[in-house]
Structure 1
Amino acid sequence: MTPEEIADFTARLAAETPATEASFGIFQYGGGPDESFIRANKQGLQLFAAEMLQAAARVDETLAHETKSIIPLGFAEQEWLDGEVFMQYIEPLAGRPEPEVAHTVSSTLFDKLMTYGLQAVFFILLIGLFVGTVNGLKTMASWIFG
């Protein structure tokens, strides 16, 4: 669709959808963005979609502009919006972003020696606990702490 066709379609959609009956909100029920949801009726979804399509029609113009890098959204003055998360603008991208490379941490020789060393100390203490008596543990404590 051309930007003109999108503008015509969104104008018709917004005109045919009564804002007084619309309800749309983005909510977060937990601690992170992975616990978010949208609560909306049909009219709210249509008005939200119209706003997103209007932004889509402006992407090429925004990317071609030298100083303008965002597309502001007109949600602030909308009465049909509710929720905890409000989007103020869209930052368009020219293409698909490169996937982030997962940073792997390689373990060093020191890390491996520390792991095996701590396991050995734990194993020795465990053997002392099961095999030794109270006097045996006292003897081991005197060896360690002098």
Structure 2
Amino acid sequence: MNDKEIGKLINALRSQKNYDEAYIGYFQYGGGPDESCIKANRQGLELHAAELLEAALETEKEFENGKIKTFGLDEGISDEESDFFFHYVELKKEARNEIKPYPDYKETWKDKLIKYFFFGILIGLGLLIIIGIVTVISWI
């Protein structure tokens, strides 16, 4: 489908729907997020599909270099009693096998400083414990 056809489909899906009747919710039925489901009626599914199609059109626009591009979803159609919500879609241009699940973490100077600070406190506590033990033994 081309962009015009998708745009027409989005408008058709949104124009015929009553937002008050639309229902979609995301629920966890088991012990973890791997046991989840979507509860929805037809109007809710069609409105949610329109949101996702609109996000698909946004992927064709230019990305700013180094920026993460997001597309906010309409929060008005999700059930307020849902166990979790999808607030936005993070848009990617790369193919599936090129996308890393998490960006590589680079340790900053603040992270290193905190690590050395706590390591220094542990060494200081160790020295104070040794001094305390030596002092107690010397009193005996």
Task: Give the TM-score normalised by the residue count of structure 1.
Answer: 0.58
Q: CA deviation at 1:97?
A: 2.8
Residues 2, 57 of structure 1: 8 Å contact kept: no
Higher helix share: 1
1:73 to 1:37, Cα distance in 2 relative to 1, 3 A:
same
Which runs of 5 or more residues in structure 1 are unaligned?
101-146
1:29 to 1:36, Cα distance in 2 relative to 1, 3 A:
same
Match of 2:89 in 1: 90
Match of 2:53 in 1: 53
**What is the RMSD of the two structures over their aligned residues, measured on CA atoms?**
2.2
Which has more radius of gyration? Answer: 1
The CA deviation string for residues 85-134 of structure 1, in whole angstroms up to 9 with x for no partner, is 2112212231113599xxxxxxxxxxxxxxxxxxxxxxxxxxxxxxxxxx
Q: CA deviation at 1:73?
A: 2.0
Match of 2:138 in 1: none
Q: CA deviation at 1:5?
A: 2.4
Which runs of 5 or more residues in structure 2 are unaligned?
101-140
Match of 2:14 in 1: 14
Where 1:90 maps in the other structure, the secondary structure is strand
Residues 73, 86 of structure 2: 8 Å contact kept: no
Residues 10, 50 of structure 1: 8 Å contact kept: yes
**How many percent of aligned residue pairs carry the same amino acid?**
38
Q: CA deviation at 1:55?
A: 0.5
